[in-house]
Amino acid sequence: MKTSTLGKMLLCSIFAFTFSIQGNTQLLKKLGKRAERAAERTIERRVESETAKKTDQVLDSILEPGSEKKQAPNTPGNTGTQPNPGNNSSQSPNTGSSNDSGPKTIQVYSKFDYVPGDKQLFYDDFGNDFIGDFPSRWNTNAGGELVTLGDSPQKWLELKSGFNIYYIPDVPQLPEEYTIEFDLAAVGLDNKTSSTAKVAITLSDNDKFDVGRNNAYAEIPFCQYAAIGVTVQNNINGKREIRSTVKADLRNVILANPHISIAVNKQRFRLWVNEVKYIDVPRLVAPGAVIHTVKFHANGFKDGKEKVFITNLKVAEGGVDLRRKLISEGKISTNGILFDSGSANIQPQSMGIIRQISQVLMQESGMKLKIVGHTDADGSDENNMKLSQNRAEAVKNALVSVYGISADRLISEGKGELEPVGDNTTPDGKAQNRRVEFIRQ
C-alpha cells in the first residue's frame, strides 16, 4: 500500500514538472535575456570598481610616496602624523577616537574646490607659546590654556563652553575677500553628547565679547546621538535676516579632527568640513560691513567630561581665482599647498590649488611652468634644499598623474630657505616661507 501511494506521488510530480517546462518556455527565454543583461551590468560594475582602485593607487602613490598602504585608523598612541618640528603644515593630532567611515581616498580631494587666500594675514599654531599658558595672540572673557593631546607635540587651545564665552584671535581688519582655516578636536564625546554641543565661528563688526550688530556665523555640531546639521545665521544692523540649517551627519567626522575651511567673497559665505562643502550662501555677510574680528564660541559641552580644542588658525586675503592671476601675470606664489611635516607628502586638502593650475595648463596648451618649492629656516640648509626640491617634484607628479598634464611642460626646482618672504622667528613668517611658486616659462 505504501509503495503504490509513493508511485502515484512520483507520477504526479513528473507530469507537473513536464507541464511546467512546456508551459513556461517563453518565460524561461525572457528570464535568460534578463540574466544576460544582469551579468553584463555586473561585469561593468566590476570593471568600474577595479578601475577606481587602480586610480586610487596612482593617486595615493603621489600624495603618499613610498607607501601603497592606507594609513591606519587613529587609535590612542597612533596619531598617523610625524613630529612637528620644522617645515610643518597644518596637521591634526589624534584624540583617541577613530573614524568609523574609514580613511578618505585621495581621489575625493582631486575635485575639492576650496582655494585658500594667497596673502597671509594671520597664522597661529601656538608654536611660540608654552603649555599651560593662554596664547599670547588671543583674547577671551573666560580663560583657558594650551595643551597637547596624546603623543603629538601639537599644541591645542581648549574652548571653554558657555553662552557668552568668546575666544578672539588678533586677526587684523578683514578685506572683502579672504579665507579662514583651522583644525578642531574633541574628547569625551559619547552617545549622550547634547544636540546643543556646537562650535560657532562668527565674523563680527566689533572686537567685543558679543556677536555685534553686523555679523555672520556658522555652527559646527558635535552631537553624537543624532545627525545635527550645519547652521548659518546673520544679523544686518541688529536684525536677523537668515537662519537655516543644512542637513549633515558629522558624527564620525568630528571625532577625527576635522579641518574647517571658510571662504568669504564680499557677501558670499562658503564653508567646507574636510573636503565637503556644506554651506554656500550668496548674501550672508552684511553689504558694506567692515568685519573687524573672527570669534570662536563653544556651547553645550558637559563640564569636566566633554572638551573641544582648536589649533592651526590661518587667515589669508584672496582665495578667489589663482587661474586668472597666473594667466595675466605669469607667476603666482601660494602657501596653500600643504605637506606633512618634514616630507613631500601632499596633504589632500591642497588639491584645490593644484586643480586650478591644471585647468590653466589645459586651457593654455602652449604654456610651460616652473614649479619652485620653498621652506622655512628650521632644520639644516642641506635638508631644506632637498625637501623643497622633493616638494616641487611632488606637485609636478600630481599634475602629471592626477590631471594628465604632459611632464615635458613642467620643470621642478627647490630653493630651500634661500628666499624668505617672512620672518623665520615667528609662526606667521614661517608659514609664509613654506610656499610653492608657479612661474610661466
Higher pLDDT pick, 199 / 120: 199
Measure Cα distances from 66 to 6, 58, 62, 345, 394 in Å.
71, 12, 9, 10, 12
Q: What is the pLDDT of residues 262-272, one digit of tens each?
A: 999 999 999 99
Mean pLDDT score, 185-206:
96
For residue 117, the model assigns a pLDDT of 84
Predicted confidence band at 311 (pLDDT cuts at 50, 70, 90)? very high
CA distance 338 to 284: 29
Give the cell for residue 117: 587666500
Mean pLDDT score, 335-359:
86
b/e map 216-245, b = 16+ CB within 10 Å: bbbbbbbbbeeebebbbbbbbeeeeeeeee
Least confident of 13-27, 125-139, 286-300: 13-27
Give the cell for residue 123: 597664522
134 close to 143: Cβ distance less than 8 angstroms: yes
Q: What is the pLDDT of residues 85-121, one digit of tens each?
A: 335 443 333 333 333 344 444 455 556 778 888 788 9
Q: What angle do CA 313, 317, 322 make, to 5 degrees?
A: 115
For residue 33, the model assigns a pLDDT of 52
Mean pLDDT score, 396-410:
94
Predicted confidence (pLDDT) at residue 49 exceeds the cutoff of 70: no
CA distance 5 to 27: 33
CA distance 331 to 328: 8
| Residues facing residue 436 across a β-bridge | 334, 373
CA distance 410 to 9: 81
Higher pLDDT pick, 317 / 99: 317
314 close to 294: Cβ distance less than 8 angstroms: no
For the full predicted model, state whether its pTM sits above 0.75: no
Q: What is the pLDDT of residues 56-65, one digit of tens each?
A: 554 455 444 4
CA distance 375 to 381: 10
Instruction: Report how far apart the first and last C-alpha atoms of the chain are (Å, whole number).
Output: 101
CA distance 366 to 370: 14
CA distance 105 to 246: 25
Single out the residue of 276, 191, 188 nearest to residue 226, CA to CA: 191
Give the cell for residue 23: 508551459
For residue 287, the model assigns a pLDDT of 92
CA distance 292 to 300: 26
For residue 428, the model assigns a pLDDT of 85
Task: Label the pairing between strands 435-440 and 369-374.
Answer: antiparallel
Number of neighbours of residue 52 by Cβ within 10 angstroms: 12
Domains and CATH numbers, the chain: 106-317 (2.60.120.560), 322-440 (3.30.1330.60)
CA distance 92 to 256: 9
Give the cell for residue 2: 505504501
Residue type for 151, please?
A: D
Q: What percent of the chain has pLDDT over 90?
A: 61
Single out the residue of 357, 365, 361, 376 nearest to residue 84, CA to CA: 376
For residue 85, the model assigns a pLDDT of 34
Q: What angle do CA 151, 157, 159 make, to 5 degrees?
A: 125
Q: What is the pLDDT of residues 215-239, one digit of tens each?
A: 999 999 999 999 999 999 999 999 9
Task: Label the pairing between strands 138-140 and 268-273.
Answer: unpaired
